[in-house]
C-alpha cells in the first residue's frame, strides 16, 4: 500500500479523516458508511469513497468502512506510527502554547525547548525546562531529534534553521513569517503563517460585505 | 476591478505576494520585474505574471511592476483597507500569543480578550485586560466587533461560536480542533488546525524516510 502514489490533494485531506475516525473510535463506532461520514464531515459521499479507495479493499456497499482499520492505515500513511522527536525553538507565548499542547498521542515527542531570553531560560513549560539556544546542538545530536518548530522572530528564523540543518534536523514546522529556503533538498517545511491566514479571513469577510 | 471574479487559487496566494511586496516597499524598491520577483519567491515568472494580470494594467515588459500600486491593490482585494474588529476568546498561551502579535498594521484591531478562568481574568495582555466571557455580548455589540479568534478547547468552541453568531459576529478565526458548522450562510470561518499541520509535516518526513 505504501508504494502506491497518493495525490497531494488526498494527502491534504487525510488529517481531517484521521480526526473524524479518531472521534468515532472514541465513541465506540466500529463501522460507518460513506453516507454517514459524509453528513458528519460535510463533504460528498462520492468524494469520501474516492479518497478512501486509495487505501484499498474495504468499504463494501451496505457494509461500510471498518473505522479502526482505516484509522490505523491513515496513521501509517501519515507516519504517525513512527516516533518523531521535536524541539521547539522560541519559548514565547506561541512556543509555550505548542509545548503545552499534547501531541504525544500522535507520535510526537517534544525533546527540548530553547530560547535566548534569560527571563524564560530555566522556566518549566509542559514538563520541560527552557534551555539556552547554545545547548541545541548537543540536545539534537544526542537524542536524534528530527523536527524543529520555529516560533522565533522572522529575523532570527533563517540563521537558526541553517544551523539546525547542520545539526541534522530534516523537518521544520515554521511559524516565522518568512519562507525558509534551505539548500538541502531532503529538508521538508510546513508553514503556519498566521498573518496570511488572517488575511484570507479578511478577504472572505470583505467579499461577504460587498455582497450585502 | 473589485467586480472581477478572481480564482480561489490566486486568492490563496495573494497574502504571500502582499508579504513580499511589503518587504520590497520597506526596502524602498519602486519597481520589480516578474523575473526578479520569481527568484525571490521561488515560483515561476509566468505564474507571477498570470496571477498579477488579475489586477489589470501594469507590469509592462522591460518596465516591471509598480510595487506600491500592486501592494495597495492587493490590500484592497484582501479587505485590509477596511478596519476589522476582533475579539480573542480563550486567554491561554495561544490566545496570549495572538494578543501580543501586532496585526494592527494589517487593519485588524483587537477589541477584547475573554476567558472563564479566574486566574487569567484581570491580567493585562498586549494592552488589554482579560475579561470574563459574560462580558462578551456587551463588548461585541457596543463596539461592532465583526471577527472572533477562538482559542478555546474544542469542547467549548461550538457553543461559544453559536452565541457569538447571535451577538453579530460573522467571521471566525478558529484554532479549536473542530469544524464549526454554523447555520448562518454568511458566516465565514478560517481554520488553523495545528495538529493537522503537524501531521502533514509528519507525512512528508515519512515519505522522505522511505526514499532513503
Which one of A77, A93, A126 terminates a domain? Answer: A77
Residues 36-95, chain B, touching A (beta carbon < 8 A)? 41-42, 77-80, 82, 84, 92-94
Q: Is residue A164 part of a domain?
A: yes
Which one of B49, B77, B105 terminates a domain? Answer: B77
DSSP string for residues in A77-109: HTTTTS-EEEEEE--SHHHHHHHHS--GGGTEE
Query: Taking a C-beta distance cutoff of 8 angstroms, is the pair A83, A107 a contact?
Result: yes
pLDDT band of B183, cuts 50, 70, 90: confident
Please state the pTM of the whole predicted model: 0.91
Flag if B173 and A147 touch (Cβ within 8 Å): no
Q: Is residue B144 part of a domain?
A: yes
For chain B, how many structural domains are there in total?
2
Flag if A195 and B16 touch (Cβ within 8 Å): no
Q: Is residue B3 part of a domain?
A: no
CATH label of the domain that carries residue A96: 3.40.50.720
What domain range is A152 assigned to?
A: 84-196
Q: B58 and B112 share a domain?
A: no
**A126 touching B (Cβ < 8 Å):** no
Q: Is residue A1 part of a domain?
A: no
How far is the C-alpha of B52 from the C-alpha of B10, rounded, in Å?
9
Q: A122 and A55 share a domain?
A: no
Tell me the pLDDT tens digit for each residue of B21-59: 999 999 999 999 888 999 999 889 999 988 888 876 455
Q: Is residue A49 part of a domain?
A: yes
Q: B165 and B183 share a domain?
A: yes
Q: B24 and B120 share a domain?
A: no
The pair phi, psi for residue B64, each rounded to 5°, is 85, -175
Looking at chain A, which residue has its C-alpha nearest residue B4? A207
Q: Which residues of A touch B2 (CB under 8 A)?
A: 210
A60 has a pLDDT exceeding 70 = no
Which one of B77, B94, B110 terminates a domain? Answer: B77
Mutate to test the interface with A, among B16, B203, B209, B211 (most CBs of A within 10 A): B203
The pair phi, psi for residue B88, each rounded to 5°, is -115, 125
DSSP string for residues in B60-107: BTTTBEEHHHHHHHHHHHTTTTS-EEEEEE--SHHHHHHHHS--GGGT
Tell me the pLDDT tens digit for each residue of A162-188: 999 999 999 999 999 999 988 777 899
Q: Is residue B1 part of a domain?
A: no
Tell me the pLDDT tens digit for each residue of A82-136: 999 999 999 999 999 999 887 777 789 999 999 999 999 999 998 999 999 999 9
Q: Is residue A35 part of a domain?
A: yes
Amino acid at each position: 500500500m505504501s508504494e502506491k502514489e497518493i495525490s497531494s490533494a488526498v494527502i491534504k485531506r487525510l488529517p481531517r479523516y484521521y480526526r473524524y475516525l479518531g472521534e468515532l473510535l472514541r465513541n465506540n463506532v466500529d463501522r460507518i458508511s460513506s453516507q454517514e461520514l459524509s453528513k458528519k464531515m460535510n463533504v460528498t459521499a462520492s468524494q469520501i469513497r474516492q479518497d478512501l479507495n486509495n487505501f484499498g479493499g474495504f468499504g463494501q456497499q451496505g457494509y461500510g468502512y471498518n473505522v479502526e482499520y482505516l484509522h490505523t492505515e491513515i496513521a501509517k500513511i501519515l507516519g504517525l506510527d513512527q516516533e518523531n522527536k521535536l524541539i521547539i525553538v522560541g519559548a514565547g507565548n506561541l512556543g509555550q502554547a505548542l509545548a503545552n499542547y499534547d501531541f504525544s498521542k500522535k507520535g510526537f515527542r517534544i525533546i527540548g525547548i530553547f530560547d535566548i531570553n534569560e527571563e524564560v531560560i530555566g522556566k518549566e513549560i509542559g514538563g520541560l525546562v527552557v534551555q539556552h539556544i547554545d545547548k541545541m546542538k548537543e540536545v539534537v545530536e544526542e537524542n536524534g531529534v528530527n523536527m524543529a518548530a520555529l516560533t522565533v522572530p522572522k529575523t532570527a528564523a533563517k540563521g537558526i534553521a541553517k544551523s539546525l540543518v547542520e545539526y541534522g534536523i530534516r523537518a521544520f514546522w515554521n511559524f516565522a513569517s518568512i519562507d525558509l529556503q534551505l539548500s538541502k533538498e531532503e529538508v521538508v517545511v510546513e508553514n503556519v503563517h498566521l498573518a496570511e491566514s488572517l488575511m484570507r479571513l479578511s478577504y472572505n469577510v470583505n467579499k461577504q460585505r460587498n455582497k450585502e
